[in-house]
Structure formats: C-alpha cells, structure tokens
Amino acid sequence: MVNCCDLVSEKNEPVPLKSISVELQVRDHVASVSSCLQYVNEEERPLEAVFVFPLPADAAVCHFSARIGEQEIVAEVQDKQSARDQYDDAVSSGQQAFLLEESEESSDVFKLSVGCLSPGQKASITIVYIIELSVQADDALRFCLPAVLNPRYTPAVSAAGVPEVSSASVIPYTLSLSVEVRSSDRISKLESSCPLDPLEFLDAQHTHATVNLTAGHRFDKDVELFLYYENSHQPSAVVEAGASAAPSGSLMGDPALMISLYPEFPADVMSSLASRGEFIFVVDRSGSMDCKMHHGNDAQMRIESARDTLLLLLKSLPMGCYFNIYGFGSHFESFFPQSVVYSEDTMEEALKRVKSMSADMGGTEILQPLKHIYSQPCYPDHPRQLFIFTDGEVWNTKEVLDLVKRHVYSHRCFSFGIGEGASTALITGMAREGSGHAQFITGTDRMQPKVMQSLRFALQPAVDNISVDWTVPEGVKVDMLSSSINTLFQGQRALIYAQIKGQSSGKKEGAVTVKYKLKDQPVTNQLQFTLQPTEDTGLTIHRLAARSVIRSLELEERAEGADAENVRKRIVELSVQAGVSSAHTAFIGINKDHNQTVKGPLLQRRVPVARMVVQRARPMALQMDFDSTMHYSMASSNSMIESDDESDQTEAEPLKDPVLQLVSLQKATGCWELNASLAAVFGKTEDEVTNQKTAQVDGSVWATVLALIWLYAFKSDQQVEWQFVAMKAASWVRSQKPDSLSQCVCDGNALLGCQVTEDMLGI
C-alpha cells in the first residue's frame, strides 16, 4: 500500500521524479537551457525510471550527465543502437546507466531512461540544450519550456510512433526557473505566461538582466517567455572561436559565424496587399480538437475557435480569388471537389458548412489530405497559400515535412499550433519547409488575431532574391552551413550559419553583404566581423550550426534516390563530433566505478507529463440561415461520395462576440445590408437606423458606413482581426461614388455617438 503522502502516478505508483530546476541563459537571439531533474527511489526494490518528455523541435541537446552522491557520470554521444545495447547490458548486469534519445518519428520528443537506482538512492540528471529564439508578430523573442506532451495519434495499421507516454492531469513534480539575459542591444522588457519576480537589471545600459519564475509553480502548462529588445531589426554578425581540442578544418575546430537578418518592412509595403491567390484552409477535426483552448472557465473549445476563425477568414478574402476548406481526422473531406472562385454564393455555401464542423473525425492523419491538395493543379496567377490548423498530435511528422518540402515551389504553408502540447516539430517544420510562417495559440491567446496576422503575411510582398556575399582576406574562406533562404515575410527572422576556414597573417576583419529585394526594390546590408574571436565562448553557435547541418542531412537521407547509408554515416559522425543529438545517435552514460551491482528484479516506472483533459461540448453554430444541402466528402481512399448534412446540423446559436456578429452579416463584396440584425449590433432598432439615414445615400452605403464607424470607434483594439473586412468595405464604398458621403459620415457619428473621420475610414 502506497502512503497517501507520497508522490504517485495515475496508477497509484510512486513517481521517482520530484523536481525540475531550469537555468536559462539568453545571448541575443539564442538561448542555452540547463535542466536539472531530481530523482529519488522511494521503493523497496531497484528501479528504472522512464520519462518521455517534450523539447522544442529545433533544440540541440549538447550535454547529459548524472550525479549520484559525490560522483558525476558525463554521457557521450554514440550511435543510437550501440548506445541502447550498452544501456541494456549495463542495466541487466545491475550497473547504473542513463540513456537519452530523440524519437525517430518526431524531433520534439525525447525519452530519458534512468536505470538501476537502488532503494532510497537519489540521482540528479542534467540535460543542456541550445535553441534559436523565435520571433513573434510584435518583435518579441519567444522561449517556450514545454510541459505538455499530447499522445500522438498512431493508426492501427502502423507499428511505428513516438514512445509511449504516461500522462496525468495533475503533475506531481515542481519547477523552478532562473533567467539571465545578455545582449548587444538594450533590453526593453521581459514578459511571461506565468508569474515572474521583478526583472533586475545588472548594468546601467540595460543589456544584462536576470529574473526568476515565482516560487511554487506547478509544471502543468507550457512556460512562455517574451523578450523585447529596443533595436530588434538591426542585422548582426557574431563570430565564435572553435574548440581548441578539435582538429583544424573541422566544423568544431574552425571559427563559426552567425548572421541575424530581420528585415523591417516600410509602411507602403505593409499596406500593399495582393488581390489574387488560392487559399486552402486545412482544419484538424480529430477528437482532440474537442478540448478547451486553456484551463480558464471561459475557454472556448478548440474546434469552436477554429469555426470563428474560418468565419473571419472567409469574410476577409478578396473577390475573385480561389478557395477551399478541408477537414481531416482518420479520413478527410473537402467542401468543394477543387478550389472555387470566391463569390457571394460560394462564400455562403462554405459558411453553411463551417457552422456544422465538429471534432468528430477520429484520429489525426494529415498526410493524406496534403497529398490530395498537392495533386490538384495550381491556378495561373493565383499563388497557392495553405493554412493548416492542428493541435499537432500526429505520429509521422518527418514524412509530413518531407511532403511539404517536395512541393515548396508550388505553394506557401502557414501553420497554427493550437493549445498546449502542439508538436513544435510539426508546426514550425511545415512553415519552414513551406516557406511560410508558424504561430502557436497557447494559454489565453485568441486564435483570430494570430491567424489574421498570417493572412496579412500571405497577401503582402515578401523579401526574396536573398544573396550572401563574403569579403575576406587572402587565405581565408567562408563556407555556408545553412540551407538557402527563399523568402522572408514581415515578422520573420533568418539566422544564417557559416564556417570560417584558413588564416590570414594580415587583415583581422571580414565583411558579409546581404542583398535582397522587397517589392522589387533592392536592399543591401553590409556587416563587419572579426577573424580573431575570443576563446571561451561555450560553442553555442557551433552546435546550432551543427544541428542545422544535421537537420538538412536528415531531410536528404529521406529523399528519393538518396544514398541513405552514406548520409546516415555523415549524420552520426557530425553528431558525435559536435556532441549534439540526432535521430541516429543517443547520449549514453554508465557508472563503471560503481563497486556494488544492484541485485533483484528491476521495477519500471513511467514519469507522467501533463495532458489535456478532453471536455465534450455541443458544437456552436454560426448565426445565419441554413438550408439542407448536398456536399462532396473526400475519403482517404480519394473516392468521391455524397452525403447529406441535414442529420448533422445543430440549431444556430447567436455569436457571442459583437465583432463576429457584425462580420457574419457582411457580403462577399464588402458591403452590409440595412436590416434589424445589423441595427442590433449597434444596440439600435431598425427604425432608429433607417430614420437617421442621409436622404441621398443608398441603404447599403449607409449600412456599410455605419459598420465602419462602429468598428473604428468601438473595436479599435481588435483591428488586426477586422482589418481586411474594413478594407473590403471601404473599397466597396469608394466604388459606389456616393453623393453626400461627408454628410453620411457625420450622420453616422451622430447616430452612434462618436467622432470618426472619412480619412480614418479610408473612404
């Protein structure tokens, strides 16, 4: 019988992991994360603890060690199968051993095995990884310490998958987090999704600061940090000295260079939006989408938020573009057999289908709908833009990324990770391989503003024709290590890695010239860098560069026609040389000095990670008329079948958000009609609105001007969500060339009790 005061798992077994302490060190755009995990065997028999946990997808794990008493065992990177064999042999013979390995299916899932802890024994495990910090839409750098690992859906026909996860809704271990930031740029502020102690600056220039997570945090959700610098768009070049023990000419022995490129888009470019394109929205409808967005009482269901977002997207598209919507789970279906021209009729038909969307399609298989989409021919002069919404719980991440990469020249991919535990490998990977942009909707984030930001990116001109040229003295050569960059959007940053080979007896500096085009205008940035960097650097840039090369090699290995065995050998060699993890290597540490072997049968305990608790809810429907309609459903076999929606329909419920109520009434052309539903949004009766109408103005013009005034006067804080709706409305008003427009705006202000100018409305 387990004592009720002990820490136990959901199966009433003692949990050997007691606490996690994390030290985060940020240097400009990159971070080093050191996590210390404290284990205690409180049972009466020898113990093996297995902990499957999430890490950021692009993390480079570079250190793994264990301390038992006064003895420290530092693990080495070895070929994965060899490391597994050594671990199994050690544990079976009663030796203490430690194994850390990356999942072969998804680079954001790791498995830690702690073998042969004697009864009462304590072990302290330290894992260090380094990572590039991602850029947010408001120029913040985001760090996420993932706590939630959602079980990845694996079809019954597949034996593959990420390791089995033991999960619990209440996590029995605690987290402490300390943060140190050093930057060449001035630090403006640091914010978090979790309570923090006050930020403490350690220098007068505000380039060095520390902060701690408030004590007592229960590690049941992701910890997000947002770091703001004053001059975030300033390009930079940082050189790091190589390791003195590594051979000259190797990646780890030579100096490494990191260039940060984060273009700032001028206002005229920001306002320049395309009116053409094919927009395909792919929505996860698996059972996991029936979870709440966060733990708060007012949280929407994920699928409900997705429906609201689709309403905004459909109302925001430009007339004459093409669009389609896919839902996927264990199978998939599309609203139309192929993308259709955006018009009033097709928009209304799609909205009727959206309101009946539920999380009712079983598991999560995204590969088949993507294959079907890519098999469809593209429309000339209408660039394909793919928007993918998922909570990221898939099993074949690498196969999905390979598919997206193969079609990178025919589309751009914008991906959205919904809720805690969305796979960073899948979400960031699809956007990276599809030359798009990734967004994560976590905590109390609303989905709509982030999605509309990405729609703006899709419609705006992008940075392209990117080239990098080097100016170095004779005897010095620079080799690019990063893959070529095709495009950069507003809000995207690129980190470029290079290796500096050779030596110069004379000049001690080099230069790099980065050129690109933005809306056909050439832009040039030239940066100076030293050829004699300081020695004690920690090899952060080298290891991130090695991780970048390894990821490129892993993609090459899976490509058709590749010499897989030779590429695998190169991955293992670089992984061992750099001391960073890969899909083909693992960290192995064995306590060979342990005098006494552990005897007796070995217990195995799986340490739980946080999971989302699924709470079912009746699907919310959009407020609009719905007629019974026949539609096409695309099964995974790609056979076309007809199905009747009538049995699935739920009675429409009023939209709670006034902005969504207003948007739902807008026509595809951008105008509103004068009726009681519109008047109700303004808190008026239809007679009140009609009686105040300017005499010379048409009813639709009057209604549209009122809608614009109301949005700008009362909902300016949500402008990122309704910006395209307003643009369409203003364009429609201008096209009508109405008389007495100034009087119309004046009368509208009087009716709604506000003061908005024509210039503000854009009419």
The secondary structure of 323-354 as a DSSP string is: EEEEEESSSEEESSSS-EE--HHHHHHHHHHH
Question: Is the model more confident about 155 or about 99?
Answer: 99
Q: CA-based angle 550:556:560, to the nearest 5? A: 160
The answer to whether residue 199 sits within a structural domain is: yes
Element (H, E) at 131: strand 122-132
Q: Compute the distance between CA of residue 618 and CA of residue 304 in angstroms, rounded to an integer.
A: 10
In this structure, the answer to whether residues 249 and 279 fall within a common structural domain is no
In this structure, how many other beta carbons lie within 10 angstroms of the beta carbon of residue 375?
9
> Do 412 and 495 belong together in one domain?
no
- The SS3 assignment for 124 reads strand
**What is each CA distance from 567 to 287, 559, 560, 563, 574, in whole angstroms?**
38, 11, 13, 6, 11
- Please give the backbone phi and psi of residue 396, each rounded to the nearest 5 degrees, phi first: -110, 55
In this structure, the answer to whether residues 681 and 731 fall within a common structural domain is: yes
* Token pair for 319: 């007339």
Q: Are residues 494 and 376 in the same domain?
A: no
Specify if 200 maps to a domain.
yes
Indicate whether 644 pLDDT > 60. Answer: no
Task: Give me 498's structure tokens.
Answer: 């290079």
Distances (CA, A) of 390 to 413, 433, 696: 13, 17, 49
Share of the chain above pLDDT 90, in %: 42
pLDDT-based confidence at residue 709 (cuts at 50, 70, 90): very high
- CA dihedral over 148, 302, 140, 260, signed as positive or negative: positive
Read off the tokens for 679. 């008047």
Rounded CA gap, 292 and 82, in Å? Answer: 43
Residue 651 pLDDT: 39
What would the DSSP string read from start to end of 491-531?
A: T--EEEEEEEEE--SS--EEEEEEEEEETTEEEEEEEEEES
- What is the maximum alpha-carbon separation in the chain? 98
pLDDT at site 632: 28
Q: Answer yes or no: is pLDDT of 413 > 60.
A: yes
Same domain? For 299 and 356 the reply is yes
pLDDT over 80 (residue 239): yes
Q: Is 69 left (phi over 0), alpha (psi -120 to 50) or beta?
A: left
Per residue in 143-189, pLDDT tens? 988 765 444 434 443 444 444 444 444 455 677 899 999 988 899 99
Domain harbouring 346, CATH code: 3.40.50.410
74-91 mean pLDDT: 94
Sign of CA dihedral 568, 430, 55, 213: positive
The answer to whether residues 478 and 455 belong to one domain is no
**Torsion of the alpha carbons at 430, 434, 436 and 437, rounded to the nearest 10:** 10
Give the pTM: 0.72
Residue 452 pLDDT greater than 60, yes or no = yes
- What pLDDT is attached to residue 640? 32
* Res 393: pLDDT: 64
Residue 644 lies in a domain: no
Sheet with 187-192, edge to edge strand ranges: 134-135, 141-145, 223-229, 187-192
401-424 mean pLDDT: 87
Per the domain annotation, does 636 fall within a domain?
Answer: no
What is the average pLDDT value for the chain, to the nearest integer?
82
Q: Is the pLDDT at 722 greater than 60, yes or no? A: yes
Pull the structure tokens for residue 685.
């009766």
Class of residue 536 by CB neighbours under 10 A (exposed 0-12, middle 13-18, buried 19+)? exposed
C-alpha angle 301-359-106 in degrees, rounded to nearest 5: 90
- Do the beta carbons of residue 145 and residue 223 sit within 8 Å? yes
In a domain, residue 659? The reply is no
Task: Sort strands 340-341 and 322-328 into parallel, antiparallel or unpaired.
Answer: antiparallel
Give the residue-averaged pLDDT of 609-622.
34
CB 664 within 8 A of CB 655: yes
- Domain, as residue range, for 320: 274-459
How is 708-736 classified by DSSP, letter by letter? HHHHHHH-GGGHHHHHHHHHHHHHHHHHH
Same-domain status, 708 and 754:
yes
H-state helical runs in 355-396:
367-375
pLDDT at 753 over 70: yes
Q: Is there a domain that residue 344 lies in?
A: yes
CA-closest candidate to residue 237, choices 508, 526, 538: 526
**Per-residue pLDDT at 172:** 54
755 and 749 Cβ atoms separated by less than 8 Å: yes
Give strand pairing partners of 523: 516
Task: Summarize the confidence of residues 293-300 as an average pLDDT.
Answer: 80
Q: Is the pLDDT of residue 589 over 50?
A: yes
Considering 459, 476, 498, which residue would you say is the last residue of a domain?
Answer: 459
What pLDDT score was predicted for residue 327? 96
Give the closest residue to 102 by CA, choosing from 110, 90, 92.
110
| C-alpha closest to that of 121 among 592, 607, 594, 589 | 594
Q: Which of 605, 616, 422, 604 is nearest to 10 (CA)?
A: 605
Give the burial class of 339: count Cβ atoms within 10 A of its Cβ; 0-12 exposed, 13-18 middle, 19 or more buried.
buried
Contact 124, 202 (CB under 8 A): no
Give CA–CA dist 483/408, Å, rounded: 14
Please provide the distance, in angstroms rounded to a whole number, between the alpha carbons at the two ends of the chain.
Answer: 75
Task: Report how far residue 695's alpha carbon sits from residue 743's, in angstroms, rounded to the nearest whole number.
Answer: 10
User: Count of domains in the chain?
Assistant: 4
When pLDDT is averaged across residues 269-277 and rounded to a whole number, the result is 73
- Note the pLDDT of residue 257: 92
* Band (219; pLDDT cuts 50, 70, 90): low
In this structure, is residue 329 part of a structural domain? yes
Digit-coded pLDDT (tens) for 9-18: 334 455 467 7
Give 655's pLDDT tier (boundaries 50, 70, 90): low
Examine the pLDDT at 394 and tell me if it is beyond 70: yes
Query: Could you tell me what percentage of the chain is helix, strand and coil, using 3-state DSSP and rounding each to the nearest 5?
Result: 25, 30, 40
Residue 715 banded pLDDT, cuts 50, 70, 90? very high
Q: Average of pLDDT values for 445-460?
A: 87
State residue 59's pLDDT score: 86
Cα separation, 271 vs 461, whole angstroms: 10
Q: How many angstroms separate the CA atoms of 677 and 681, rounded? A: 7
Residues 35-63 have pLDDT tens digits of: 998 878 787 888 787 777 778 778 889 99
Tokens of 58: 């692009």
> 626 pLDDT exceeds 70?
no
- Evaluate if residue 520 carries a pLDDT over 80: no
Q: What are phi and psi of 695, to 5 degrees?
A: -60, -45
* 701 in a structural domain: yes
Residues 43 and 181 in one domain: yes
Partners of 301 in the β-ladder: 292
Decide the pairing of beta strands 332-334 and 322-328. Answer: antiparallel
Q: How many angstroms separate the CA atoms of 196 and 186, rounded?
A: 20
Please give the structure tokens belonging to residue 280: 């395909």
Are 29 and 97 contained in the same domain?
A: yes
Bridge-partner residues for 148, per DSSP?
610
Give the pLDDT score at 5: 27
Query: Do both 120 and 244 map to the same domain?
Result: no
**Cα separation, 707 vs 726, whole angstroms:** 9
**Residue whose token pair is 């994560």:** 440
> For residue 659, what pLDDT is reported?
93
Range of 424-438, 486-500, 618-632 with top mean pLDDT = 424-438
pLDDT given for residue 173 in this prediction: 63
Q: Is 309 helix (H, G, I), strand (E, B) or coil?
A: helix
Pick the closest to residue 124 from 225, 19, 215, 199 (CA basis). Answer: 19
Give, as one character, the DSSP assignment of residue 203: S
One domain for residues 416 and 338: yes
Q: Which residues have C-beta within 8 Å of that of residue 143, sequence separation ≥ 6?
A: 24, 26, 31, 131, 133, 224, 225, 227
Of 372 and 263, more confident: 372
Q: What is the DSSP string of 536-568?
A: --TTHHHHHHHHHHHHHHHHHHHSTT--HHHHH
621 pLDDT more than 70: no
Structural element, H or E, at residue 588: strand 585-590
- For residue 596, the model assigns a pLDDT of 52
Quick one: pLDDT at residue 586? 95
Give the domain CATH number at 255.
2.60.40
Same domain, 197 and 320: no
